[in-house]
Chain A
Amino acid sequence: MANVIKIKKGLDINLKGKASDVLLTGRQSDSYAIVPDGYNGIIPKVTARVGDKVKAGSVLMTDKNRPEIKFVSPVSGEVTAVNRGEKRKVLSIIVKPDAELAYVEFGQKNVSSLKAEEIKEAILEAGIWPFIRQRPYDIVASPSDTPRDIFVSTFYSAPLAPDFDYIVKGQENDFQTGLDALAKLTSGKVYAGVRKGSSIKAGGAEAVEVEGPHPAGNVGVLINQTKPVNKGETVWTLNPDDVLLIGRLFNKGIADFSRLVAVTGSETTERGYIKTIAGCTIKSLIDGKILEGKEHLRIISGNVLSGRKVSKEDYLYACDNQVTVIPEGNEVNEFLGWAMPGLGKYSMSHTYLTWLTGKKKEYVIDARIRGSKRAMIMSNEYDKVFPMDILPEYLLKAIIAFDVDKMENLGIYEVAPEDFALCEFVDTSKIEIQKIVRNGLNLLYKEMN
């Protein structure tokens, strides 16, 4: 491959509980949900009503400001609830599935003979658009834009993350179709980050071989290292799993939201992949795969760094392809923990003696913050895990001060909260960095639009 990126900064946290390459059987999910909070930059406008009969691909809600962006039901069945919270904020739309899946027919199409507008139209219509995100702001992309380039990272590097090489097996054709469709939407190129040694073929796309520790698989790193986003430019990004959705739409003519979801984490008893449909219940994924009656568990939709905390009664966020279960740790009382040699305590720094025990060791880390919040004291912590040409500490300070000029100059348009996840992990001062970045992006978006 012509393009190679080698990343040195970063950190692979060797956690216990990786998914092995086996297919597990999950329980039947008794309901599915669209959760608006799973998408950034949209204001939900619910179009479905409780009691409506829907098919997989029927519209449930749209974006208030960009009504062409539709969110559809992943399964066929009946809308049983529209849950609202404070100020009538839409929390979720619940669909109870039929025994037999029925799809809205969109018609098979040959991508190579379609124009860009037609492809856009088809993706919007089938409700797959919300999976396309844009930078700046890391929000759902605008259909009216033509992006400079489109970036897809074809592997996940976060701790315990699923292996896309395994997921894509048997779906290579759909993946290729998806990439072909995306190539028509940009005036530039589709860049595909491929892990060194992976067998994934990204035909037609500009393949970039990536090597190094997490966050090597983050699309933000791929962008920064190949063709960074400057002010005024827009690029789109997709997870590789969502490229499959687009491929299936054109190859099969239906909105098929099935996904392979990895069940991971030290507290699961059986680990592997479950074939399910986006928006399924967490219960259907982990029931029978964690110890019965065990309390103090942290269940995460997504990975341990950028995933979201959920309970057993919640739903897997539509964009996630992983559920992680780790100990919560709120019942642990560690006596004088800061003073102990700390063998077995994980730290990137060498402040605990764990680093002497070798790199092969797998760790169980619970959800405790392990310290109290402080002002930024240590320097050069974030830089060590931030492989972009950006000064993370100064960008963060600009965001906290909401100094728009500084934020622009220091690279706010290139980043998403997930790029800062490792910074947050290693931070001595326990600052909620991803939250700061997300709020900063939201505020800036409001300021600029």
Chain B
Amino acid sequence: MKALRNYLNKIKPNFEEGGKLSMFRSVFDGFETFLFVPNTTSKSGVHIHDSIDSKRTMTLVIIALIPTLLFGMYNTGYQHNLAIGANPGFWITFLFGFLAVLPKIIISYGVGLGIEFVVAQWKKEEIQEGFLVSGMLIPMIVPIDTPLWMIAVATAFAVVFAKEVFGGTGYNIFNVALVTRAFLFFAYPADMSGDKVFVRTADTFGIGGGQVADAFSGATPLGQIGIAGKELIGSFQATDVLGNPLTTLDMFIGLIPGSIAETCVPAILIGAVILIVTGVASWKTIVSCFIGGAAMAAVFNLIGTTVVMTISPLDHLFLGGFAFGAVFMATDPVTSARTETGKYIYGFLVGAMAIIIRALNPGYPEGMMLAILLMNIFAPLIDYYVVEGNISRRLKRAVK
């Protein structure tokens, strides 16, 4: 390590103002702080600091995402095998999914970090690590057959217009990964929904070629609900890609079609535990989001005039992006409510709104993405009222 440090010290002058490589200064700084914790010491205020920094925080979110990502890769292969009626064993199945997902991760990071590097250099700032999480989230919340160029375009749009124009990491109003998803959804609706995109039927780099089974239909359970759901009351049964009925347990385990990493609730819960124990995400947001979703679903159960309204609260929480959104997206500290009371309200409304959108909108079966983006707008308002509450309590105290 000493040799590396010495090498960095040797090449550092090239990158400083006036050096021949000064145009890459931000990149160099970024890599230097990536490799070595900066050893600058405090100049004012406290003389000692907590070891936590934003790199550590972001790293922990990524660690929390790993279980869902790995499961998502496996599920990608699994759904593919169901579709072509093959069973090549665990490792080949995983490899298929891994190879299918990896290019998306590379594209997302490549485009997003590229823009961050350029902007950081332009603004003469240090490269910030906020995109490490967004860049991982983006490939996890898109359908597996999303073309790479679409991911590239959407990522570029989101990083520039949802983040950099607001001032960069920590200043954005909307969750960057969700803006990417929303851009894809509204710009290329045909490629983002329906029964063609959630299960890869073609081969990946030559692995897993085969004939699609006759009974195959690639619609997600939510997609099926979306089609049947607006009917007046009738019998409805969610099925897997071959038409076999799905139980609530199947929806919980998550070997069902869906966006890459949204299906497996146990893996998401492992991530939730990691985030809550380390204190990176707020349990208040997560829990109240689930409560809000369940409560709203129960209300619709009572009304129960259409199929979608009869879906049980538990099924609602397990299906689609609800759990993933509640744990990894709604808890984004920058775009969610920042006051403690506000987090309860914010989480509850995200959950409730997601179910309302699912139940009442005619065009689109999933509601989590729009619910979170909508509540991103309202988060400052919620905080405003919590802060006003504090202020009026203090004013009353003065009058007494």
- Show the binding face of A for B, using Cβ within 8 Å: 13, 15, 159, 228, 230-231, 298, 300, 304-307, 309, 324, 326, 328-339, 342, 345-352, 354, 365-372, 374-380, 383, 389-391, 393-394, 409-411, 417, 421, 424-430, 432-435
Contact = CB atoms under 8 A, between A and B. Distances in A.
A334 B36 contact: yes
Interface of B: 1-2, 4-5, 33-57, 59-60, 126, 128, 130, 167-171, 277-280, 282, 333-334, 336, 338-340, 387, 390-391, 393-395, 397-398
Given A349-B279, A371-B38, A393-B338, A377 B45 contact: no
Nearest to A379: B338
Nearest to A335: B1
Contact of B37 (A368, A391, A425): A368
Contact of B168 (A348, A354, A372, A375): A375
A374 to B, nearest CB: 5
Contact of A428 (B4, B52, B339, B393): B52
A374 B37 contact: no
A329 B55 contact: no
A371 B60 contact: no
B277 A368 contact: no
Given A377-B57, A391-B339, A333 B39 contact: yes
The dominant DSSP class at the A interface is: loop
A68 to B, nearest CB: 31
Given A329-B41, A389-B394, 12 more contacts: A230-B397, A300-B47, A304-B48, A305-B47, A306-B45, A346-B51, A368-B49, A374-B54, A374-B128, A424-B46, A425-B48, A432-B43
Contact of B47 (A298, A337, A348, A351): A298
A367 B277 contact: no
A237 to B, nearest CB: 19
Contacts of B33: 372
A220 to B, nearest CB: 15
Contacts of B130: 377
Contact of A421 (B45, B340, B387): B45
28 contacts: A298-B47, A306-B45, A331-B39, A333-B2, A334-B37, A335-B4, A338-B53, A346-B51, A348-B52, A349-B278, A349-B280, A351-B60, A367-B41, A368-B49, A370-B53, A371-B37, A374-B169, A379-B339, A383-B340, A391-B387, A410-B390, A410-B394, A424-B49, A425-B46, A425-B50, A428-B53, A432-B44, A433-B45
A434 B390 contact: no
B38 A389 contact: no
Contacts of B2: 333
Nearest to A303: B47
Contacts of A332: 39
Nearest to B284: A380
Given A389-B394, A409-B395, A347 B41 contact: no
Contacts of A228: 394, 397
Given A351-B57, A389-B394, A375 B171 contact: yes
Given A309-B47, A350-B279, A434-B44, A409 B37 contact: no
A354 B52 CA distance: 12
Contact of A368 (B41, B280, B395): B41
Contact of A380 (B40, B128, B282): B282
Contacts of B50: 346-349, 370, 425-428
B35 A335 contact: yes
Contacts of B41: 298, 328-330, 366-369
B117 to A, nearest CB: 16
Contacts of A383: 340
A323 to B, nearest CB: 12
B51 A369 contact: no
Contact of A367 (B34, B47, B334): B47
A345 B47 CA distance: 16
Contact of B45 (A334, A368, A434): A434
A64 to B, nearest CB: 25
A351 B56 contact: yes
B105 to A, nearest CB: 18
Contacts of A370: 37-38, 49-53
Contacts of B55: 338, 371
Contacts of A372: 33, 38, 53-54, 126
Nearest to B398: A230
Report which residue of A328, A330, A331, A379 has the largest number of chain B beta carbons within 10 angstroms of its beta carbon.
A379
A303 to B, nearest CB: 9
A338 B39 contact: no
Contacts of A333: 1-2, 5, 36-37, 39
Nearest to A334: B37
A393 B46 CA distance: 18
A86 B39 CA distance: 30
Contacts of B53: 338, 370-372, 374, 428, 430
Contacts of A354: 51
Contacts of B126: 372
Contacts of B42: 367-369
Contacts of B395: 409
Contact of A351 (B37, B45, B280, B282): B280
A113 to B, nearest CB: 36
